[in-house]
Amino acid sequence: MHVGIDLGTTNSVLATFDGTTLSVVPNAVGEVLTPSVVRIDARGAELVGRRAFRFLETDPANTRGEFKRLMGTEEPLRFEASGQTFLPQQLSAKVLISLLADAEAVLGYRPAAVVVSTPALFELPQNHATMKAGKLAGLAEVTLIQEPIASAIAAGWRADAEGFWLVYDLGGGTLDVSLLETREGWLRVVDHGGDNFLGGKDFDNALTDWAVARLAEATGLPALSRTNPAHRRPLSKLKAACEQAKIDLSRLDRTSIVCAEVFNGPDGIPVDADLPVTRAELEGLVAPLIERSLDVCRTVLEKNRLGVDAVGRVVFVGGPTLMPALRERVGGFFGGRVAEGIDPMTIVARGAALYAATVGLEARPAEPVAPTGVVVRVEHPAVTADTEPFVVGRFLPDKGEKMPIGVRIEREDGGFESGVVEVSEEGAFVIQLLLERHRQNRFRLSAWGPGRREVELRSPDFAIVHGVSIADPPLARSVGVARSDNSVLVYFEKGTPLPARRTAVHKTVQRVPAGSSEDALAIPVVQGEFSRAHLNRLIGSLQIRGGRLKKNLPAGSRVEVTLQLDRSGQLHARADLPEVGESFEDVVHVLVPTSTPEVLEKELEVTQRRVADVRRRGFSSGKPALVRTMKGAADLLAEARAGLEAARGGDADAAARVHRLLLDLNGALEQAETELDWPTLDSEASDAIEVSLSWIQEFGTPAERQLCESALNDVAEARLARDSAALDRHVRVLRSLSHAAYVRNPRSAFNSFEWYQTHVSEATDPRQAQSLVEQGRKIAKKGDSEALRQINRQLGELFPGSAEDRRRSFGSGVR
């Protein structure tokens, strides 16, 4: 049995998959949706789910919901009456415990290993917190999957038609659009995009703002304001009434926003709201938001050079997609090709359960195996589109047990029998099977020892489901190491299948004395798509601490860094220092920053100035597309301003949202600025090509020439697409190749030394640099280019990039 959990912001769902049937497990009150709400009363008694939800409006001081938005932060959530505080992950664990108890009631055992879905926008700290929640809930094993991928799997696993699909997932606060493809029995997530600031909440806010204005008109009293902490409660009540009206308008043409005693008027008399609203009015309010969501769909399709007609079907996910106006507009955009029969509220949990089957995550706790027989390890895909997959096995006999020499596999229905296959010396065998299509195939393994005597095996049975094979989940954002010059060495590109592992070489830029508790060298790990480190999110840092070193680590030492991401995207990192023979694995996990309104205010001001500057430059350089982009930026700035006001009113979620919004906005600005700098970048690329070609042709190895040719193709492609970031990246490759060839020039050591001589004052340690320059002069006089190269290398270590670059690269100590 395989179990998947959609641990949602508003509601959570648990689904099971037994290899044939997908089911959603109802909770104790018979509902499939369990509100992600926790209540703790004065005596410390806990309520989770629907019963807790009932107190959300009436007793918010002791009832908490939407804590998923704060996952990965250290924001303590207090329950006033009991005086207890919990971290968001601890409250998520309580929701998980409740879901697992519901599953136990149905399955007869408590699931020990599950797949939990997380939003695509979650970064490593938030995923880390979700894993912790799973562990706190007593799960032995937790694997994470991104929500849009889970939806895609659930929508596509029984796909009879080949082609492209689009999953339109509108959650409470975010929109995720995933493009997937079914081809030759393989389901693959091709790409996904999204808007981290567009969700059902925005639809509710649009109606709430409208209701606030109508209420002010009707009563003649000042409008309620999000910036006023005293208005939080009345606004929250009004918003709940608006949410109900929105749901009602899914089936009615008109209704009323009814809310008793929204607030007390100046005379102390409570003010009630009873505001008639029509479906047409609601549709008018949300139309711009729906159009914004279609822009995201267009972008994903354009990026993959696909037209709307190429999408065979669109799948709706999330509560807000139940709104008729949205289904009509988005469905109409895709020519009415909407996948039917999919429940948008439970699809994510179903996909998570299917994924659990794909990765062979068995929910039932392991039972003791029969104590006798030879252990055999059988490896095979749990689900596959291949009707003739391979199975690989290896016998692991205990001392005194004989290694089998022959093996045979039979299908339970008698439709396949492998014949006797020889076992290799190490006890391994590889057998190709034959599967019955679209069903679970059960097999039994038999083994023989010398003299054709049958060998008893401990676990000879296994099963394979024939269905759609699901490609490994892709990494949502690139991960790499920030270098001291503020560049990034990308270890895993966006889209890399998980799990992933890669080792790369760096050089240290500072000395770390052995035994020093104060000195440490940081290897920052960042996530994002920008070539400049500071624009990405810091997700962890590997620390080489002097206190743990047995020998001094000189500047310029080789560091082999290995980054590993498990299937859930959890980061593991190791630094090997071959020169001192030591390894470090201490990753400092970074929490999601919780910025104060004051810090956000300053960041907002700087961003506003940047937007104005880019707009001005866009106008003067005659780039209307850029000016249009910046118009969008102005809207986001206004949104950030409003969010900041809400953050001042005490809304912690709004602060996190503004922080993320500014990060995204600055990323867009970076791209816009690079676009403005295109002529310069293009001309720099031409210079780099000219120099590289001459050096590589004269001094390059055949491999370098090949690499150079490839890099030139990439540069040409980037130029054609006017992709500044790609051009920047490929020109850097060309420069490094050119540099490798250049050092073979006998004169190169003398030329480089000349550069160091003239820039000696810029070294991190000018005294040491001066001493090396003096040694170098003597060597240069003798004409010993090899010895001079050694001096240059030492000098190079003293020029790791400017102090400003180092600061911006999160203090990186490597390059």
| Residues near other proteins (CB under 8 A), total | 55
What token pair was written down for 236? 């929250």
Pattern 465-504, other proteins, x by CB under 8 A? ----x-xx-x--------------x-----xxx-xxxxxx
DSSP for 734-792 reads HHHHHHHHHTTSTTHHHHHHHHHHHTGGGSSSHHHHHHHHHHHHHHHHHT-HHHHHHHH
Q: Which stretch binds other proteins (CB under 8 A): 71-79, 311-319, 387-395, 675-683?
A: 387-395
- Contact status: 105 vs other proteins (CB under 8 A): no
Give every strand in the sheet of 46-48, ordered side by side: 46-48, 37-40, 63-65
Q: Which stretch binds other proteins (CB under 8 A): 77-85, 637-645, 719-727, 734-742?
A: 734-742
Q: What is d(CA 72, CA 360) in angstroms, rounded to the nearest whole number?
A: 28
Q: How far is the CB of 471 from other proteins (least distance, A)?
A: 7
Q: Which stretch binds other proteins (CB under 8 A): 223-231, 453-461, 525-533, 737-745?
A: 737-745
Q: From the list 200, 393, 569, 618, which residue makes contact with other proteins (rule: CB under 8 A)?
A: 393
- For helices 724-742 and 678-699, what crossing angle results, to 10°? 30
CA dihedral of residues 220, 223, 224, 228 (deg, nearest 10): -120
Q: Which stretch binds other proteins (CB under 8 A): 260-268, 451-459, 670-678, 729-737?
A: 729-737
Cβ proximity to other proteins: between 129 and 733 the closer is: 733
Q: Cβ distance 395 to 376 under 8 Å?
A: yes
Q: Are strands 22-24 and 453-455 parallel, antiparallel or unpaired?
A: unpaired
Q: How far is the CB of 380 from other proteins (least distance, A)?
A: 6
Q: How far is the CB of 428 from other proteins (least distance, A)?
A: 5
Q: Which stretch binds other proteins (CB under 8 A): 167-175, 445-453, 736-744, 761-769?
A: 736-744
DSSP for 499-522 reads SEEEEEEEEB-S-B-TT-SS-EEE
Pattern 433-472, other proteins, x by CB under 8 A? ------------------------------------x-xx
What is residue 235's three-state secondary structure? helix
Q: Cβ distance 595 to 610 under 8 Å?
A: no
Q: From the list 394, 442, 574, 719, which residue makes contact with other proteins (rule: CB under 8 A)?
A: 394
Cβ proximity to other proteins: between 659 and 815 the closer is: 815
Q: How far is the CB of 259 from other proteins (least distance, A)?
A: 52
Q: Which stretch binds other proteins (CB under 8 A): 448-456, 623-631, 662-670, 739-747?
A: 739-747
Cβ proximity to other proteins: between 186 and 416 the closer is: 186
- Contact status: 710 vs other proteins (CB under 8 A): yes
Rounded (5°) CA angle 646-647-652: 120
Cβ proximity to other proteins: between 603 and 704 the closer is: 704
Q: What is the residue whose two structure tokens read 């003239």?
A: 758
- Contact status: 706 vs other proteins (CB under 8 A): yes
Q: Which stretch binds other proteins (CB under 8 A): 26-34, 235-243, 384-392, 600-608?
A: 384-392
Residues 549-568 that bind other proteins (CB under 8 A): 558, 564
Q: From the list 50, 110, 188, 232, which residue makes contact with other proteins (rule: CB under 8 A)?
A: 188
- Please count the other Cβ atoms lying within 10 Å of the Cβ belonging to residue 184: 8
Cβ proximity to other proteins: between 292 and 574 the closer is: 574
- Contact status: 815 vs other proteins (CB under 8 A): yes
Q: What is the residue whose two structure tokens read 């209540």?
A: 39
Q: Where are the beta strands (DSSP E) in 289-413?
A: 311-317, 375-379, 383-384, 390-396, 406-411
Give phi and psi for 801, each to the nearest 5.
Answer: 110, 165
Cβ proximity to other proteins: between 18 and 162 the closer is: 162
Give phi and psi for 621, each to the nearest 5.
Answer: -95, 5
What token pair was written down for 142? 């937790």
Q: Cβ distance 374 to 396 under 8 Å?
A: yes
Q: Cβ distance 574 to 562 under 8 Å?
A: yes
Q: Which stretch binds other proteins (CB under 8 A): 133-141, 333-341, 426-434, 592-600?
A: 426-434
Cβ proximity to other proteins: between 710 and 802 the closer is: 710
Q: How far is the CB of 390 from other proteins (least distance, A)?
A: 4
Q: From the list 54, 507, 551, 589, which residue makes contact with other proteins (rule: CB under 8 A)?
A: 507
Q: How far is the CB of 791 from other proteins (least distance, A)?
A: 12
Q: Which stretch binds other proteins (CB under 8 A): 46-54, 137-145, 392-400, 764-772?
A: 392-400
Q: From the list 389, 569, 643, 700, which residue makes contact with other proteins (rule: CB under 8 A)?
A: 389
Burial of 305 from C-beta contacts in 10 A (0-12 / 13-18 / 19+): exposed
Query: How many alpha carbons lie under 13 Å from residue 110 in its C-beta half-sphere?
Result: 12
- Contact status: 736 vs other proteins (CB under 8 A): yes
Nearest to 134 by CA among 570, 585, 653: 570
Which amino acid type is present at position 614? V
- Contact status: 152 vs other proteins (CB under 8 A): no
Q: What is d(CA 464, CA 357) in angstroms, rounded to the nearest whole number?
A: 10
Pattern 352-381, other proteins, x by CB under 8 A? -------------------------xxxxx
Q: How far is the CB of 321 from other proteins (least distance, A)?
A: 29
Q: From the list 733, 779, 791, 798, which residue makes contact with other proteins (rule: CB under 8 A)?
A: 733
Q: From the list 703, 746, 771, 778, which residue makes contact with other proteins (rule: CB under 8 A)?
A: 703
Q: Cβ distance 249 to 277 under 8 Å?
A: yes
Q: From the list 267, 426, 598, 804, which residue makes contact with other proteins (rule: CB under 8 A)?
A: 426
Q: From the list 192, 506, 532, 610, which residue makes contact with other proteins (rule: CB under 8 A)?
A: 506
Cβ proximity to other proteins: between 166 and 707 the closer is: 707
Report whether the peptide linkage leading into residue 35 is cis, meaning its omega lies within 30 degrees of zero.
no
Residues 760-789 that bind other proteins (CB under 8 A): 789
Q: From the list 21, 30, 184, 550, which residue makes contact with other proteins (rule: CB under 8 A)?
A: 184
- Contact status: 793 vs other proteins (CB under 8 A): yes
Q: How far is the CB of 398 from other proteins (least distance, A)?
A: 16
Q: What is d(CA 131, CA 118) in angstroms, rounded to the nearest whole number?
A: 10
Cβ proximity to other proteins: between 284 and 360 the closer is: 360
- Contact status: 572 vs other proteins (CB under 8 A): no
What token pair was written down for 710? 């490839």
Cβ proximity to other proteins: between 254 and 739 the closer is: 739
Distances (CA, A) of 147 to 144, 176, 419, 480, 579: 9, 9, 44, 24, 44
Pattern 681-700, other proteins, x by CB under 8 A? --------------------
- For helices 766-782 and 785-796, what crossing angle results, to 10°? 170
Q: How far is the CB of 766 from other proteins (least distance, A)?
A: 24
Q: Cβ distance 800 to 482 under 8 Å?
A: no
CA dihedral of residues 351, 357, 359, 361 (deg, nearest 10): 110
**How far separated are the first and last CA of the chain, in Å rounded?**
48
Burial of 487 from C-beta contacts in 10 A (0-12 / 13-18 / 19+): buried
Q: How far is the CB of 507 from other proteins (least distance, A)?
A: 5
Contacting positions for other proteins (CB under 8 A): 184, 186, 188, 377-381, 384, 386, 388-394, 424, 426, 428, 430, 469, 471-472, 474, 489, 495-497, 499-507, 558, 564, 702-703, 706-707, 710, 733, 736-737, 739-740, 743-744, 789, 793, 815
